[in-house]
Amino acid sequence: MFGVIRWLALTLVLGLFVGITASADDKTSVAKQRVEWLRERVAAMSVVPTRESNEACKLHEEPIIKWSNPVSGGEGAVFVWTSDGRPIALAKCHLNSRKSLHVETLVSISDNRLRMSEAGQVSWEPAEPGVKFETLADLGVPADTESLRLAQMRRAAREFRFVDNWVESEWELRLMPAPLLRYTSASEKIIDGALFAFAQGTNPEALVLVEAVESANGRVWRAAPSRLTAYQVRGWHNDRRVLETAKIQTAIRTASLFQRPRTLNPFPFPEKSE
C-alpha cells in the first residue's frame, strides 16, 4: 500500500518537474525569438562614424545587454555599432506585448557626427556629436594592467549619479556593476575604455563612457555621460550637474537620440493566456 502511495507521489513530483521545465524552456525559446526578431531589424541599419566617411561601422551581432521592465512590460536588448573598436551608436530596442508595441531608441555615443542609412536612404543624422568628454584629473594616471585600469574605471563610474523622470515619477538609477562593453581603439588612441550603464531594474536608462587615452600631455582619463531613454534624465559628476535632457515628445531625425515607436498588428509574440 505504502509502495503504491510513494510511487504515485513520485510520479506527481516528476510530472510537476517536467511541466515546470517545459514551461521554462518555452519562455527561453520565446525570449530568444524576440532577440532574433529585434536583431534582424537592427541589421538593416548602416551607420558611418563621420559625415566624411563611407566605411560602415561594425554591428556586433550579440546584444551587449538583454533587459526587461516588469513595470512597463517591455522586454528588449541593446545593440552596439563600433568603429575600430570604439562604440559609436547604440540601438536600444524592445517589444511590449501589453501594448503591442515595438520601440527602437537610437542614441549617438560618438564625439563626432554620425549618419545612419536604411535601404539606401538616410534615416537618422544627428546635427551634433552625441557626447562630450571631460578629463578626470583626480583619477590619476591610467594603470599598467587591465585589471587595475578596470578598478580605476569603476571608481570613475561610481562618481556619477543619474535620476530618470519616468512616467511622472523620479527614479534614482543604479550603476550596473559590470561594464556593458570593454574596448580599445588604435586610431582614436584609446588605451582602454568601458561603457557603464545606470539602470531601472535591468533596463539601462543612462550611460557613462570612461576612457584612458594618449594625449599631448601623456596618458589621461576622460569620461562622458549620455542618456539612453526618451524620458527626462539628469546626471551629476560628484556634485556638479553634467547632464540634463528634456523628455522627447516627437521623433527628430537630427537629434542625438532618435526614438521610433510603432504598433504591431498582429503582435508577433502574444502573451499566452493563463
Give the pLDDT confidence of 56-93 residue by residue, as tens digits: 999 999 999 999 988 888 899 999 999 999 999 999 99
In a domain, 224, yes or no: yes
For the chain, report the end-to-end CA distance as a whole number of angstroms.
37
3 has pLDDT over 80: no
Domain range enclosing 222: 35-263
pLDDT at 271: 65
In a domain, 5, yes or no: no
Question: Which residue has 524576440 as its cell numbers?
Answer: 34
Q: Residue 29: which residues within 8 A CB-CB, separation 6 or more?
A: none
In a domain, 14, yes or no: no
Q: How far is CA 118 from CA 45, 47, 51, 137, in A?
A: 5, 9, 16, 41
pTM: 0.88
In a domain, 268, yes or no: no
Q: Could you tell me the sign of the dihedral formed by the alpha carbons of 32, 33, 36, 42, in that order?
A: negative
Length of the chain: 274
In a domain, 59, yes or no: yes
pLDDT at 51: 87
In a domain, 49, yes or no: yes
In a domain, 274, yes or no: no
Q: Could you tell me the sign of the dihedral formed by the alpha carbons of 11, 12, 15, 17, in that order?
A: negative
In a domain, 10, yes or no: no
pLDDT at 19: 46
Residue 46: all three cell numbers together: 548602416
Provide the number of structural domains found in the chain.
1
